Amino acid sequence: MSYVRSQDGTRIFYKDWGTGRPVVFSHGWPLDADAWDAQMLFLLHNGYRVIAHDRRGHGRSDQPATGNDMDTFADDLAVLIEALDLKSAALVGHSTGGGEVARYVGRHGTRRIGRIVLIGAVPPLMLKTATNPQGLPMCVFDGLRAGVAANRPQFFQDLAMAFHGYDRPGAKRSQAVIDSFCLRGIRGGIRPEYDCIEAFSETDFNEDLKKFNVPTLFIHGGDDQFVPFVASASAASKRVRNSTLKVYAGGSHGICSTHADRVNADLLAFLED
């Protein structure tokens, strides 16, 4: 197993396959790098070098009680990119990982980055405020914290339903997808996962988006119940010059699993454009 050490000594697990142009994946909450299996295998078979890490506190990485914030997540990503000496890499972030990618650009620029893809991503700001009326009220995130604290296994079982849109009428439910979601969530630490809720919900990425200066693709599910489209990709794509927006009608927050073939095709087309 491969690790890099962050600035505070936290071990960050990563996997690195292939020898082509690098594509670096940042996963959503409460998952880990394995959430990208379908995308990584597909792009690997199409000649790309694919890299994904487990965010601190998640998966196989260390579970520190500190540093569970977007600045540190972005700096951990920077340590990985620098350690592997990546050049002209594509950054792909889902949900919280999209925030991590945005904050990376805000703090470290695009010197090593050639393209960016944000899928169901949290920027510009999830929380409802006076200046962000389309956001979600604090009670939503308090509910996530309460669920994690009270009964994390059951909470993740329940969360997986809305995450993948399986609670919608006529949805074709996959128990295997639900089980894998829960397994990945439970592999993380309860303390860092709890803290991460504040990080993905209350971090304002507006200034970070202003620093995007490479081709950027936004992909979002039109029926995303976790990161609503109007408050996220709809707004964020308007803040990034010359960006492209693709909305999957009826798509959930978990489109990397439920719509894997379509996500894969759109990623490949964007990377090769």
The catalytic residue positions are 95, 224, 253
Residue 70 vs residues 62, 105, 107: alpha-carbon distances, Å: 16, 12, 10
d(CA 5, CA 12): 6
Instruction: Give residue for tokens 């956001």.
Output: 135
Give the chain's length. 273
- Strand partners for 218: 118, 245
Closest CA to 195 of 79, 83, 103, 65: 65
